[in-house]
C-alpha cells in the first residue's frame, strides 16, 4: 500500500461513518490533507462503485452497530478522535447509542459533524430526498438551464458544493475552536442550508435589480452574448466568458468582428441579436482553429470538454490536476499547500480490525 506522511492536517483523527454522497467526499478531502480518517462500515458491506475514488486515503473497520459490544468498541475508538462525521437521518445515531450527548460526555473535545439534506430539524428533516430536491427549494435549481426548463447541475450544488465543502468547513472550524477552548460541539450541516448560502451573490445582484428570475435572461446564466456556450463548425462547443470590455475586445479581434458592431452588448434588448451574430461567426470554423487563435490569451475562450478529455487538457496536465493511481484516473488533492503538501495517502481500500484501529490511536 502506498502511504505518504505529512499534510496540513497531520495528527488530526476523524471517525467517518460510512455512507453515500457528500460525507465520503468530505472524508477524502480531509484524508488528502493528512488527517488520519478511519471509516466505520457494516460487516461485509459491498462498495456501490468498485473504483471508489472518494473512499481513498483511509482504512475501514467493520462494526455491527446493532450489536452492543461493537457499539462500545466504536465508542472507545471515538474516545481518541478529534472529529466525527455521520450522514444518517436525524435520530439514527441517538438510537444506536452513538449520539452527540453520549460521545461528547466521554470526549468533550470531540467535533461531531452531521451531514443531511434537510438538516437536523424542520418539517422536512425526517423525509428522504436527493440533491435535486435540496436545491429545488433554494432557488438554485430554478436558475440553471435554458429558458424552457431548469436542468439539474449534476449533484455539484447540493451534495458537494453545499454539502461536502460546508461539512469540511464546519468540521475544521469546530476543530479550531476545540483547540482553543478544549470544548467540542455539534456541526449541523444541511445541503439545503449550503445551497442557500451559495446563492448569496445571486441574491445580492437581485437586490440591486441586476438579476431577473427568468433563465437565460441574466449575465451569468447564458443570457448574455459574452457569457455563453457556442457550437463550432465541427459540432464541438466552446465557452465564452468575456465579461470585461478589454477581454471582450480581445474576443472580437480573434473572431474577426468589429467591436463597434457589438457596442450594445450590455443592452439586454439587444442580446438575442448579438447572440445570433456571435453564434454564426463561431459556427463558421472548427473548434481547433478558434482555439489556436483565442485560447492562449485574454479572450476568456476555452473548449467545452468531456470528463474523459479533461485528463488530456494541456493546462490540467501541466499542473497534474488529474493523476493516475493504480490504473485509475482521478482528481489530485486540492487545494495545494506548498509547505505541507497534500497527497493521496493510499490508493486501495484497506480493511483493518477494530483492535488495530484503537491500538494505532492509543499508541500516540
Contact (CB, 8 A) for 261 and 280: no
Judged on CB neighbours under 10 Å (0-12, 13-18, 19+), 82 is buried
Contact (CB, 8 A) for 79 and 106: yes
| pLDDT in the model for residue 3 | 44
Q: Which three cell numbers stand for residue 141?
A: 435549481
| Separation CA 93–CA 127 (nearest Å) | 16
pTM for the predicted model, two decimal places? 0.94
Q: For every one of its 364 residues, what pLDDT tens digit does the chain have, with 9 covering 90 and above?
A: 344 558 999 999 999 999 888 999 999 999 999 999 999 999 988 766 666 899 999 999 999 999 999 999 999 999 999 999 999 999 999 999 999 999 999 999 999 999 999 999 999 999 999 999 999 999 999 999 999 999 999 999 999 999 999 999 999 999 999 999 999 999 999 999 999 999 999 999 999 999 999 999 999 999 999 999 999 999 999 999 999 999 999 999 999 999 888 878 989 999 999 999 999 999 999 999 999 999 999 999 999 999 999 999 999 999 999 999 888 899 999 999 999 999 998 756 788 999 999 988 886 6
Dihedral sign of CA atoms 156, 55, 340, 35 in order = positive
| pLDDT in the model for residue 325 | 87
Show Cβ contacts of residue 19 under 8 Å, excluding neighbours closer than 6 positions: 86, 87, 88, 115
Contact (CB, 8 A) for 351 and 59: yes
Query: Which residue ranges form the domains of the chain, and what is each CATH number?
Result: 13-198+333-362 (3.40.50.10540), 227-314 (3.30.1540.10)
Three state DSSP letters for 52-118: CHHHCCCEEEECCCCCHHHHHHHHHHHCCCCEEEECCCCCHHHHCCCCHHHHHHHCCCCEEEEEECC
Would you call 123 helix, strand, or coil by DSSP?
coil
Count CA atoms closer than 13 A to 333's CA, side-chain side. Answer: 25
| Separation CA 174–CA 101 (nearest Å) | 16
Angstrom CA distances, 306 to 229, 287, 313, 323, 329, stand at: 14, 14, 10, 16, 14
| pLDDT in the model for residue 2 | 42
DSSP notation for 1-14:
-------TTTT-EE
Q: Which three cell numbers stand for residue 84?
A: 466525527
| pLDDT in the model for residue 364 | 62
| pLDDT in the model for residue 1 | 35
Catalytic positions are 130, 159
| pLDDT in the model for residue 73 | 96
Amino acid at each position: 500500500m502506498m502511504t505518504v506522511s505529512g499534510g496540513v492536517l497531520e495528527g488530526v483523527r476523524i471517525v467517518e461513518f460510512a455512507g453515500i454522497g457528500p460525507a465520503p467526499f468530505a472524508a477524502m478531502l480531509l484524508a488528502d490533507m493528512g488527517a488520519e480518517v478511519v471509516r466505520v462500515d457494516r460487516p461485509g458491506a459491498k462498495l456501490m462503485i468498485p473504483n471508489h475514488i472518494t473512499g481513498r486515503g483511509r482504512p475501514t473497520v467493520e462494526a455491527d452497530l446493532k450489536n452492543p459490544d461493537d457499539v462500545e468498541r466504536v465508542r472507545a475508538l471515538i474516545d481518541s478522535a478529534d472529529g466525527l462525521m455521520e450522514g444518517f437521518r436525524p435520530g439514527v445515531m441517538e438510537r444506536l447509542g452513538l449520539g452527540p450527548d453520549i460521545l461528547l460526555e466521554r470526549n468533550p473535545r470531540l467535533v461531531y459533524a452531521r451531514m443531511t439534506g434537510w438538516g437536523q430539524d424542520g418539517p422536512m428533516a425526517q423525509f428522504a430526498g436527493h440533491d435535486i430536491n435540496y436545491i429545488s427549494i433554494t432557488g438554485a435549481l430554478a436558475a440553471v438551464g435554458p429558458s424552457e426548463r431548469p436542468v439539474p447541475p449534476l449533484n455539484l450544488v447540493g451534495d458537494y458544493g453545499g454539502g461536502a465543502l460546508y461539512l469540511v468547513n464546519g468540521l475544521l472550524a469546530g476543530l479550531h475552536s476545540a483547540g482553543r477552548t478544549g470544548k467540542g460541539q455539534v456541526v449541523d450541516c444541511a445541503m439545503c442550508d449550503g445551497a442557500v448560502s451559495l446563492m448569496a451573490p445571486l441574491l445580492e445582484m437581485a437586490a440591486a435589480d441586476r438579476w431577473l428570475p427568468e433563465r437565460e435572461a441574466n449575465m451569468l446564466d447564458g443570457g448574455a452574448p459574452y457569457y455563453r456556450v457556442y457550437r463550432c463548425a465541427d459540432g464541438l462547443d466552446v465557452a465564452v466568458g468575456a465579461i470585461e470590455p478589454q477581454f471582450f475586445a480581445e474576443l472580437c479581434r480573434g473572431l474577426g468582428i468589429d467591436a463597434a458592431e457589438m457596442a450594445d452588448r450590455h443592452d439586454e434588448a439587444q442580446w438575442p441579436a448579438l447572440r445570433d451574430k456571435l453564434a454564426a461567426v463561431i459556427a463558421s470554423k472548427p473548434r481547433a482553429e478558434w482555439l489556436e487563435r483565442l485560447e492562449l490569451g485574454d479572450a476568456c475562450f476555452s473548449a467545452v470538454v468531456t470528463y474523459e478529455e479533461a485528463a488530456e487538457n494541456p493546462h490540467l496536465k501541466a499542473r497534474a490536476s488529474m493523476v493516475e493511481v493504480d490504473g485509475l484516473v482521478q482528481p489530485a488533492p486540492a487545494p495545494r499547500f506548498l509547505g505541507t503538501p497534500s497527497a493521496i495517502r493510499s490508493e486501495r481500500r484497506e480493511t483493518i480490525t477494530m483492535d488495530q484501529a484503537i491500538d494505532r490511536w492509543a499508541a500516540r
